[in-house]
């Protein structure tokens, strides 16, 4: 009898073990199934393009660019934090003029191609700029700023083309709009995690100028994307019609912007970013200061920022698994509120209250960065989905670029506003007495966008936002709704 009971218990334990293994295996395969589903719906070549541009160029390269730029201004050029804050805003200007890149790629083909030349141009521009900073021994501040801005332009130009593909696929597959933006954010977060994980080590070993040399590799891959891009060739393009096409695209853009369902969320997007004052350089100078701050090393900074990427990735997964079907206003309300409240963690850190509570600086900064990036990602995801749904047919690249430039102009306003705040409060390379006040003012202003949520559509991500007459409007020669496909030169018949 006892033997039978023992065998029965063993059998149940074995079944439970099998069920546990099955759940674990399903958990592992679920992301792969998701990728497979997206590849089947929109072709794997589109997925490949997203991985290269968002994952390697923007994620990996962008994280290395950020860390190396911070140390470049601080240790090589030796500028004040308020100046560095202004310079970081200047380097974002190419992202503000993204509609220009969008118009060029939409209506001005080069040598008969609409996309390939711009990828090639972006790769060359970025690679040359980063190599110039890396190899020049004593580069003047003005030329350094120009080179960094040119490198930023290279990333922005490549980004516009992929954004156009994402917007086009969001229109062709409206039920997958949130999934497409989740894919882009997922690749960016993974790339950022990898980049931040090695950034501190690289800066410590080869210096910020050496890291700029390494950055020429992601730009070379962007160049490669342009070389292997397969698209229809237009042998006899009427360049005399370019002016008319610009007029048609501009007219359609302004017609769309006059629609209340469009300009209201655009206004909210700008103000939500502009009112989130950026004082990153002040915090960076303080955290790496040996007297006033925790004196974090290059490796520590990279380690901390890598946890920020983990937080960003968790934000993407949380939105994808739980929040993607919720109405826009609800997600934006709670994310903006938490964004303002959690900003107080910086205040606790600067006032050294964490040490009084027995929490080490490094642990507290890691927690702060991870949570802040997660909430920031949750705040941004609904805005990206809204943006993809506001693009009319025929000018997807131009209009999505315009919407992203509105976000970037808000970020520029935030950066320059933060730089002005640091300057007014006299936060310098060695004086941080009023940094706590800058953080407090920033956190109070962060909650102001809550009063503007009436500008956001009440709908959810599965619903259309644009009126049907605008959504179906065509501009000039409407390009056939087909996905941009990336193929190897070996398999090309051209």
Let me know whether 171 and 266 are in one domain: no
- pLDDT tops 60 at residue 173: yes
Domain ends where: 237, 254, 282?
A: 237
Let me know whether 185 and 100 are in one domain: yes
More confident call, 70 vs 100: 70
CA atoms within 13 A on the CB side of 335: 27
- pLDDT tops 90 at residue 128: yes
More confident call, 153 vs 181: 153
Let me know whether 411 and 285 are in one domain: yes
- Residues 184-235 pLDDT 10s: 877 887 888 888 888 888 888 888 899 999 999 889 888 887 777 766 677 7
Domain ends where: 208, 237, 266?
A: 237
State the pLDDT at residue 436. Answer: 92
State the pLDDT at residue 361. Answer: 86
State the pLDDT at residue 477. Answer: 41
State the pLDDT at residue 26. Answer: 59
What is the distance between the alpha carbons of residues 260 and 255, in angstroms, rounded to a whole number?
11
Rg (CA), the chain: 24
458 by Cβ neighbours in 10 Å (0-12 / 13-18 / 19+) ranks as: exposed
What is the distance between the alpha carbons of residues 395 and 404, in angstroms, rounded to a whole number?
14
CB 485 within 8 A of CB 46: yes
- Residues 282-316 pLDDT 10s: 888 888 888 888 888 888 888 888 888 788 888 87
CB 396 within 8 A of CB 164: yes
How many percent of the chain have pLDDT more than 90?
12
**491: pLDDT confidence band, cut at 50, 70 and 90?**
very low
The answer to whether residue 230 sits within a structural domain is yes
Let me know whether 226 and 249 are in one domain: no
The answer to whether residue 447 sits within a structural domain is yes
Let me know whether 333 and 264 are in one domain: yes
What is the distance between the alpha carbons of residues 69 and 302, in angstroms, rounded to a whole number?
13
CB 288 within 8 A of CB 74: yes
**488: pLDDT confidence band, cut at 50, 70 and 90?**
very low
CA-to-CA dists, residue 274 to 91, 270, 279, 409, 488, angstroms? 17, 6, 12, 8, 42
The answer to whether residue 11 sits within a structural domain is no
Total domain count, the chain: 2
CATH number of the domain bearing residue 129: 1.20.1250.20
- Residues 384-396 pLDDT 10s: 888 877 777 666 6
What is the distance between the alpha carbons of residues 391 and 369, in angstroms, rounded to a whole number?
33
How many percent of the chain have pLDDT more than 70?
82
Let me know whether 227 and 249 are in one domain: no
The answer to whether residue 6 sits within a structural domain is no
More confident call, 185 vs 86: 86
The answer to whether residue 150 sits within a structural domain is yes
Q: In three state form, how does the secondary structure of 341-373 look?
A: HHCHHHHHHHCCHHHHCCCCHHHHHHHHHHHHH
Let me know whether 70 and 149 are in one domain: yes
How does the average pLDDT of the chain come out, rounded? Answer: 79
60 by Cβ neighbours in 10 Å (0-12 / 13-18 / 19+) ranks as: buried
- Residues 357-382 pLDDT 10s: 888 888 888 888 888 888 988 888 88
The answer to whether residue 190 sits within a structural domain is yes
- The model scores a pTM over 0.85: no
Let me know whether 333 and 475 are in one domain: yes
- Residues 17-38 pLDDT 10s: 666 655 666 556 667 777 777 7
Domain ends where: 237, 262, 286?
A: 237
Structural domain of 183: 35-237
State the pLDDT at residue 190. Answer: 83
What is the distance between the alpha carbons of residues 113 and 109, in angstroms, rounded to a whole number?
5
CA-to-CA dists, residue 261 to 149, 258, 389, 455, angstroms? 34, 9, 11, 9
State the pLDDT at residue 18. Answer: 61
CA-to-CA dists, residue 330 to 327, 339, 448, 464, angstroms? 6, 14, 16, 18
What is the distance between the alpha carbons of residues 366 and 302, in angstroms, rounded to a whole number?
11
Let me know whether 322 and 176 are in one domain: no
Let me know whether 339 and 253 are in one domain: yes
Let me know whether 207 and 341 are in one domain: no
- Residues 417-443 pLDDT 10s: 998 999 899 988 888 889 999 999 999
Let me know whether 317 and 202 are in one domain: no
**476: pLDDT confidence band, cut at 50, 70 and 90?**
very low
Q: In three state form, how does the secondary structure of the chain look?
A: CHHHHHHHHHHHHHHHHHHHHHHHHHHHHHHHHHHHHHHHHHCHHHHHHHHHHHHHHHHHHHHHHHHHHHHHHHHHCCCCHHHHHHHHHHCCHHHHCHHHHHHHHHHCCECCECCHHHHHHHHHHHHHHHHHHHHCCCCCHHHHHHHHHHHHHHHHHHHHHHHHHHHHHHHHCHHHHHHHHHHHHHHHHHHHHHHHHHHHHHHHHHHHHHHHHHCHHHHHHHHHHHHHEECCCCCCCCHHHHHHHHHHHHHHHHHHHCCHHHHHHHHHHHHHHHCCCCCHHHHHHHHCCCCCCCCCCHHHHHHHHHHHHHHHHHHHHHHHHHHCCCCHHHHHHHHHHHHHHHCHHHHHHHCCHHHHCCCCHHHHHHHHHHHHHHHHHHHHHHHHHHHHHCCCCCCHHHHHHHHHHHHHHHHHHHHHHHHHHHHHCCCCCCCCCCHHHHHHHHHHHHCHHHHHHHHCCCCCCCCCCCCHHHHCCCCCCCCCCCCCEECCCCCCCC
The answer to whether residue 19 sits within a structural domain is no
- pLDDT tops 70 at residue 484: no
What is the distance between the alpha carbons of residues 62 and 253, in angstroms, rounded to a whole number?
30
């Amino acid at each position: 009898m006892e033997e039978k009971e023992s065998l029965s218990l063993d059998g149940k334990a074995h079944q439970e073990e099998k069920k546990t293994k099955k759940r674990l295996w399903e958990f592992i395969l679920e992301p792969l199934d998701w990728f497979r589903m997206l590849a089947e719906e929109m072709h794997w070549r589109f997925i490949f393009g997203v991985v290269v541009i968002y994952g390697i160029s923007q994620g990996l390269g962008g994280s290395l660019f950020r860390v190396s730029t911070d140390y470049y201004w601080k240790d090589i050029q030796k500028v004040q934090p308020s100046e560095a804050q202004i310079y970081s805003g200047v380097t974002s200007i190419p992202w503000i003029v993204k509609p220009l890149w969008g118009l060029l790629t939409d209506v001005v083909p080069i040598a008969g191609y609409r996309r390939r030349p711009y990828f090639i141009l972006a790769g060359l521009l970025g690679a040359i700029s980063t190599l110039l900073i890396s190899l020049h021994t004593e580069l003047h501040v003005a030329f350094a700023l120009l080179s960094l801005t040119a490198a930023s332009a290279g990333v922005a130009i490549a980004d516009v083309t992929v954004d156009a593909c994402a917007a086009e696929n969001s229109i062709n597959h409206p039920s997958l709009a949130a999934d497409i933006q989740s894919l882009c954010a997922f690749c960016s977060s993974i790339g950022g995690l990898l980049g931040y994980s090695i950034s501190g080590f690289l800066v410590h070993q080869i210096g910020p100028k050496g890291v700029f040399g390494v950055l020429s590799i992601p730009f070379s891959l962007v160049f490669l994307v342009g070389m292997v891009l397969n698209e229809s060739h237009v042998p006899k393009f009427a360049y005399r019609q370019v002016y008319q096409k610009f007029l048609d695209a501009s007219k359609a853009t302004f017609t769309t912007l006059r629609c209340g369902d469009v300009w209201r969320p655009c206004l909210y997007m700008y103000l939500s970013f502009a009112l989130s004052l950026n004082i990153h350089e002040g915090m960076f100078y303080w955290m790496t200061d040996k007297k006033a701050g925790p004196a974090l090393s290059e490796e520590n900074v990279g380690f901390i920022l890598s946890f920020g990427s983990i937080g960003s990735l968790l934000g993407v997964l949380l939105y994808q698994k739980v929040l993607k079907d919720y109405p826009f206003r609800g997600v934006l309300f709670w994310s903006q509120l938490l964004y303002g409240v959690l900003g107080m963690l910086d205040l606790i850190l600067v006032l050294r209250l964490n040490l009084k509570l027995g929490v080490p600086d490094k642990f507290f900064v890691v927690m702060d960065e991870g949570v802040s990036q997660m909430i920031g990602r949750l705040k941004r995801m609904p805005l990206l989905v809204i943006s993809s749904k506001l693009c009319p047919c025929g000018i997807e690249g131009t209009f999505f670029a315009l919407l992203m430039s509105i976000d970037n102009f808000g970020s520029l306003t935030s950066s320059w506003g933060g730089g002005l705040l640091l300057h007014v409060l006299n936060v310098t390379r060695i004086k941080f007495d009023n940094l706590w006040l800058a953080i407090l003012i920033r956190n109070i202003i962060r909650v102001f966008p809550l009063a503007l949520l009436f500008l956001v559509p009440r709908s959810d991500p599965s619903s259309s936002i644009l009126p049907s007459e605008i959504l179906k409007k065509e501009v000039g020669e409407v390009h056939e709704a087909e996905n941009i496909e990336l193929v190897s030169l070996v398999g090309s018949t051209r």
